[in-house]
Amino acid sequence: MAAERVIVVYPPDETGGRRVRVDGTILGRARDLRDLTEYLRRAGLEGLDDLDVVRSLLIEWRGGGPEDWDPRPP
């Protein structure tokens, strides 16, 4: 069941990529919401679009939210 999944998006690295982990497994580095949505789809979380990912309470955003992809401070 999707509600039991543990999804963590880590802070942006020096290139702006954010590591994505689902249930303890690193899936890769997302460079934007489209990448993140694709990683989650491949992990079996079907039917998500970028807006769903932004609003999802299943995702733990570390080091900024879904709008933060640039590693430089504002």
> What DSSP assignment string belongs to 13-32?
-TTS-EEEEETTEEEEEESS
What would the mean pLDDT of 12-40 be, rounded to a whole number?
Answer: 94
End-to-end alpha carbon distance in the chain: 37
Domain definitions of the chain by residue range:
6-61
Name the 3-class secondary structure at 33.
Answer: helix
What would the mean pLDDT of 25-54 be, rounded to a whole number?
Answer: 88
Q: Which residue, 58, 22, 57, 56, is CA-closest to 40?
A: 22
Least confident of 15-19, 48-52, 60-64, 66-70: 48-52
pLDDT range class, residue 1, cuts 50, 70, 90: very low
Q: Examine the pLDDT at 62 and tell me if it is beyond 50.
A: yes
